[in-house]
Homo-oligomer: A and B are copies of this chain.
């Protein structure tokens, strides 16, 4: 009988420009590692990282709580979390802990849940960080690759990305508010122009075509968002310059990663990715902001069994 399972889950970028709350992409940049161990009773979180250890306030804790309840599991679980993904920077950090936990729990109790169910449980954990359940990051982190999330009922479509797709993520070292996702959701207008939604929808449709045709050019060229990016960019020092620089350096498309403040540039393996990274760093420097940059590919997911 298995009494201990370790699973790692990748960072992810939500939205990809026009696909707010719908699109996600797993990023082979950082990973969270979660180990679940059966214990006598209670839910106990162990971590060296600066995240809540109250199970109700930790996305991993909430996933365990919800899954124990659902499957009427007696006894307790110890959750050991090793954060590889910086929390609060728009790379699906809280989601990765939740994703790894849902997959580990499934294995620990031999539940053999399908992808949608794993995503659903992982998503239920996001309430601990974002205040609302949302699935874009967890779906990418659980399933890997590119995901399209539909809700009511939850239905996730997963697509393999083009093999030459590359991203440069620039993570500015600024202080992010504790409830960053809540704050950055608050600045988005609740009512939008129909004409803007048509523009975003047409580019989102093209992004889907790009992933289906394995065409990184179409994907990159369609990363255009006239709704969320304009509302959020003031929260990122130097955003306009970072974006402009990356495009000049050869990036196909640039936008905010998830709820920010990281900025993500989309490109191809044939491009000069170091040049793009450097240009983004310079953009942040022009706004007196330091940043860390990562060049990465898409990642497989926590639940992905493929090598």
Contact = CB atoms under 8 A, between A and B. Distances in A.
Contacts of A19: 201, 205
A2 interface: no
A200 B202 contact: no
A6 to B, nearest CB: 33
User: Is the interface on chain A under 10, 10 to 19, 20 to 34, or 35 or more residues?
Assistant: 35 or more
Contact of A212 (B22, B23, B208): B208
A21 interface: yes
A151 B22 CA distance: 22
How many copies are assembled? 2
A61 B209 CA distance: 35
A200 B203 contact: no
Contact of A209 (B195, B202, B208, B227): B208
Nearest to A157: B209
A209 B21 contact: no
A140 B22 CA distance: 27
Which 9 A-B residue pairs are closest in the complex by CB-CB distance? A197-B197, A212-B212, A208-B208, A150-B202, A22-B202, A148-B205, A191-B191, A21-B198, A205-B208
